[in-house]
Amino acid sequence: MVMPCAVAPTGGVFATWRGASEGRVLREAGPRLECGSCSSAPSQLRRKPKDMLPSWPLLPLVMVPMSSRLSRKGKLKVSRRVRCNASEDEESMSMDFLQKLIQKQRSATELGICTREWHPEIFDDVPPGYRDALESGIDLVDVLANGSALQLLADAKSQPRFCVRVAPKPTLGLGYILNKNLVMHLTVLSPLQQAMKRLNVGYIETLTIHSDGQGRMHFPFWVYDAVVEAYQKGLCSKIGISHPNADAKTVMQAKQELEKRGATLSSVFVKLSLLEREAIQLVKDCRAQGLQVFATNVLGPDELASGRYTAANPTGGEISVPRFTLAQLMPLRPLHQALEDVVKGLRIRAEKPEISTTQVALQWVVSKGASPLCDVTTEANAKAVTGCTGEDGSWKLTPEEEAMLDSAADEVAKGRRRW
């Protein structure tokens, strides 16, 4: 059945109706209207009374701008200027979305589990605090590629988000002579694949270039090539940097090296605690660049920044031989006293009597913009870590409490330098 078409011109736009059974589109040609899909005479389309309009159901009115035109086949063709404007709008929306992601990344902090002190000679299985942390939602696990914790984690048969730190093997100067693919495999890819095999996983979240060197942070070009190749193969989704002497300049250089190869730097690892605050400025610089910062040794050397071992309680509440002497603990009294004062105020303000000094030390690291990685081998640390998540960890340090801890840490630092 052939149905007539109807059209009503509306100034600068076309108002077109399409039949329910056939999708005919009318187009304007010169001074009078023509039907592009039927053989009706043009004179029949010049004037059409209202009572002669089609009685079948009409589709919604389609408004076609003058910057667009219809082809002979009835297909809409958008002008080049409209396409350019659309692409600019899409690009602007993409940039806005990217900026939002960067801002979210700058404000993102999370707790993680450090496994550096896990040794099969001491533990037959993963520490009980590890499973408690996973149940509380802390599923980020930091592990060394050649560490002794790999076998314990594999036996646990859990599926956390692994962050594997790979220390590139030295080449003794042969890296510039041997085949680059061979060097990449020997120094980075092979240790990574062996660690993933021992963990029984085919993918990790973060691959971190790690070094314990004492000099300036520097990695040869084949290390960056190997890391980017692992990233492009889908072995990891993020790339990190870990070096004890990293600074803002060397971190930006590493970031640029990765960007040259089509990847980007995601995170930086630093040592940060109330007794080791040298990296605070680096944390600020990295956050300004949209990089996530993971803090290690968050409880200080031998956990002396946790406030658990004090001059009044050298055993940490355990029935055992004291781990530290009074000569070691007395210089830390200002910091330990400040931790106790903050805990007393927090228990009243947050109405949580279970808050401990270890939790305050972890929250201080969070207040500086870093994500603490804490060991959970002891029951006290496991309770502190799980207590910083969920409803129990909804509290934060106030600027006054943070300033109180900073002032005490300054006093301890001055006394230790004099000593």
User: What does the pLDDT look like over 218-269, one tens digit per residue?
Assistant: 899 999 999 999 999 999 999 999 999 999 999 999 999 999 999 999 999 9
Q: Are 294 and 112 in contact (CB under 8 A)?
A: yes
Give strand pairing partners of 64: 14
The rounded percent of the chain whose pLDDT value lies above 70 is: 72
Pairwise CA distance, residues 346 & 334, whole Å:
18
Does one domain contain both 91 and 102?
yes
Does one domain contain both 169 and 292?
yes
Does one domain contain both 44 and 11?
yes
Pairwise CA distance, residues 313 & 302, whole Å:
15
Q: Which amino acid is at 219?
A: F
Does one domain contain both 271 and 281?
yes
Show which of 57, 76, 95 is a domain's final residue: 76
Phi-psi sector, 192: left (phi>0), alpha (psi -120 to 50), beta: alpha
Instruction: Give the predicted TM-score (pTM) of the model.
Output: 0.73
Does one domain contain both 299 and 189?
yes
Q: Is residue 386 part of a domain?
A: yes
DSSP letter at 312?
S
Show which of 56, 90, 108 is a domain's final residue: 108
Does one domain contain both 302 and 291?
yes
Q: Is residue 1 part of a domain?
A: no
Q: Is residue 216 part of a domain?
A: yes
Instruction: Evaluate if residue 108 carries a pLDDT over 70.
Output: no
Does one domain contain both 218 and 139?
yes
pLDDT band at 88; cut points 50, 70, 90: low
Show which of 60, 76, 92 is a domain's final residue: 76
Does one domain contain both 125 and 69?
no
What is the structure's pLDDT at 70? 41
CATH code of the domain covering residue 218: 3.20.20.100
Query: Which of 188-202, 306-320, 368-382 has the lowest average pLDDT?
Result: 306-320
Name, in order, each residue with C-beta under 8 angstroms of 10's C-beta and a sequence gap of 6 or more.
Answer: none
Does one domain contain both 169 and 266?
yes
Q: Are 338 and 89 in contact (CB under 8 A)?
A: no
Boundaries of domain holding 181: 109-318+325-418
- The domain tally of the chain equals 3
Does one domain contain both 174 and 27?
no
Does one domain contain both 339 and 372?
yes
Q: Is residue 2 part of a domain?
A: no
Does one domain contain both 300 and 226?
yes
Q: What is the pLDDT of residues 10-52, one digit of tens each?
A: 444 333 333 333 333 333 334 444 444 444 444 443 444 444 4
- Mean pLDDT score of the chain: 78
